[in-house]
Amino acid sequence: MEHPENDSCYTGLTVNSGVAQPPSVNPYLAGRRRRKPLPSAGELVEGILRGDVTMLARAVTLVESVSSDHQAIAQEVIEKCLPHSGESRRIGITGVPGAGKSTSIDVFGLHVLKQGGKLAVLAIDPSSERTKGSILGDKTRMEKLSVHPGAFIRPSPSAGSLGGVARKTRETIVLCEAAGYNNIFVETVGVGQSETAVHSMVDFFLLIQLAGTGDELQGIKRGIMEMADGIVINKADGDNIDRARLAQAQFRSALRLFPTPPSGWTPEVLTYSGYYELGIPEVWDMIDRYFAFVKENGYFDRRRDDQARYWMYETIDDRLRSRFYNDPCVMQMLKDKEQKVLDRRISSFIAARDVLDYYYSKGNDAL
């Protein structure tokens, strides 16, 4: 069939018809090894500690992999990197799509890199599972950072539950820190539970807001505001400046109604423009002051301890659930019991007890 773009209105463009299936492949290519052999855990660790970005990226790919061979290497690498991790500022950045996260991360990132050191930008994107591709952490969205030698940008891992995706990002933080990245940004869309996951792995949580929509306080869940250590109102430029200031005042008064957070730090509200690069040092100055404050009062270490504990239980939860729900007999039994519950032949509790009793009777209580 003639391709529509071969119409004469598209001068200078011809589209050839494609070939359904090439008859053969180049014999030279067919004989070549397709994949590079997997590096050993020792080689990966050595590369990571040297700051070798290729080795870091390969290790992160193993962390994200679902293959048990890859996971075994990944876990060994993480364990060996752990003593070299922890020395970074972990900053979570959230905001609804269009709030200006990528524009802001680009300029905040450059600002941080000017002060020396390195920056890793990671992401947790709950939608990536559905879309099979991540919208966050995409290099093309951070034009300046993506070509900076001190920046490592990694999109959200895409497989598994939110808990699983978040755990992989947390493990990636360990690897990045061991590779000398002393600033870690974790980006997420401010629309759902992913903030809780990000909050449980960062030291500072920045909420990017917009002004000028007339309903500044709507659309953000109270819980997200409660988690924020700083709220910044973006796009404070041109004729939006006054609206941004008004939103700033509204957020400040809304925050006064919240109890003092456990850090003892009162979240600040600032305005800035990511696009025109206005107010960036001021936002960073706030973050510097926060770190000085929580390191002084001991909250920094307490929060990291709490997070380590949280991830231990979170991982146990995740493993128990996936082992239980992926057991073929359990799957079959659940289907059967569910129908009986719906037919009112047994109660929900009896059904649950029966399935669990069966599962434990198989010797699954010793994991």
Selected binder of ligand GDP within 58, 89, 90, 101 (CB under 6 A): 101
Query: Residue type for 350, please?
Result: I
Q: Which is nearer to ligand GDP, 27 or 98 (CB)?
A: 98
Residue 359 host element (H or E): helix 348-359
Contacts of 108 (CB under 8 A, 6+ apart): 93, 185, 274, 280, 283, 284
Selected binder of ligand GDP within 88, 103, 156, 307 (CB under 6 A): 103
| Interface with ligand GDP, residue 99, by CB under 6 A | yes
How far is it, in rounded angstroms, from Cα 258 to Cα 111? 31
Handedness of CA 232, 237, 243, 249 (dihedral sign): positive
Tell me how far CA of residue 238 lies from CA of 196, 232, 235, in angstroms.
Answer: 34, 17, 8
CB of 103 to ligand GDP, least distance (A): 3
Per-residue mark of binding to ligand GDP, 292-311 (x: CB under 6 A) = --------------------
CB of 212 to ligand GDP, least distance (A): 10
Q: Which is nearer to ligand GDP, 100 or 267 (CB)?
A: 100
CB of 127 to ligand GDP, least distance (A): 12
Q: Which is nearer to ligand GDP, 172 or 273 (CB)?
A: 273
Selected binder of ligand GDP within 97, 133, 262, 281 (CB under 6 A): 97
Strand, coil or helix: 341: helix
How far is it, in rounded angstroms, from Cα 79 to Cα 89? 20
Among all chains, which residue has been given the structure tokens 């559905």?
A: 130
Of residues 182-241, which lie at the interface with ligand GDP (CB under 6 A)? 234-235, 237
Which stretch, 61-69, 96-104, 225-233, 344-352, contacts ligand GDP (CB under 6 A)?
96-104
CB of 176 to ligand GDP, least distance (A): 21
How far is it, in rounded angstroms, from Cα 198 to Cα 66? 21
The encoded tokens of residue 123 equal: 């992401």
Nearest by Cα to 284 from 138, 129, 113, 146:
113
**With CB under 6 A, what is the number of residues at the site for ligand GDP?**
15
| Interface with ligand GDP, residue 100, by CB under 6 A | yes
CB of 97 to ligand GDP, least distance (A): 4
Binding positions for ligand GDP, rule: CB under 6 A = 95, 97-103, 234-235, 237, 273-276
